[in-house]
Amino acid sequence: MRDLKIELRERIKKILRKIDEEERRRVSEEIKRNLLSLKILEKKNNILIYFSKSPEIDTTSIIEELHKEGKNIYLPKIIDSEILPAVLDGFENLKKGKYGIMEPTSSVFVDEEKIDAVILPGIAFDTSGRRLGRGKGYFDRFLKRCRNAIKIALSYSFQVVEEVPEEENDERVNVIVTENEVIFV
């Protein structure tokens, strides 16, 4: 199982490395439009969303738009190998954290049970909601603690594959948003 995950992860990462910034911006705008049109997101007020790092789908304008809509925005902050939902109180209050990913400087966190939507990245997904991450299990462990949240993945269409290998500790997503479609699991 682990070998299948490694092989799929490497195959998709190879494609991701070929994406230029212009293509990333174009696809990110289409995904943003698809995401923000979701009716299920309208009623969600406490949203944890990842701060993207190239070549991931750019989340900067999504975060800005959700904030304008009056949503409470939280970003993942890694402390002791766990994700904690840290309050985002402005882009100027971010710094590089573990793995070079931007995190809030704030140490104000919200209880995971209050999070009602998690918008997360991944390497690959399938239409059953299986998700292949980077292999460290951060989001899988976090999602287990967010039982009240809808789990929404942002993905390039090529990242949706026929089948993602799944292990016991892997958590599934409920919705996959690509530039071409929204997949409800």
The domain spans of the chain are 2-184
Average pLDDT over residues 110-123: 97
**pLDDT in the model for residue 82:** 95
Q: Which of these CATH numbers, 3.40.470.10, 3.40.50.300, 3.40.50.10420, 3.40.47.10, describes 2-184?
A: 3.40.50.10420
**pLDDT in the model for residue 76:** 97
**114 vs 99, residue with greater confidence:** 114
33-65 in b/e form (b: 16+ CB < 10 A) is ebbeebeebeebebbbbbbbeebbbbbeebbee
**pLDDT in the model for residue 158:** 98
Burial of 95 (0-12, 13-18, 19+ CB in 10 A): exposed
How many other β-carbons are positioned within 10 Å of the β-carbon of residue 164? 23
CA distance 55 to 129: 22
The position carrying tokens 């995950």 is: 5
CA distance 2 to 174: 23
- Count how many Cα atoms sit within 13 Å of the Cα of residue 134 in the half-sphere of its side chain: 7
The model's pLDDT over 35-49, given as tens digits with 9 standing for 90+, comes to 999 999 999 999 999
**pTM exceeding the 0.85 threshold for the entire prediction:** yes
The model's pLDDT over 5-63, given as tens digits with 9 standing for 90+, comes to 999 999 999 999 999 999 999 999 999 999 999 999 999 999 999 999 999 999 999 99
**pLDDT in the model for residue 1:** 77
CA-based nearest residue to 68, from 53, 47, 52, 93: 47
CA distance 31 to 41: 14
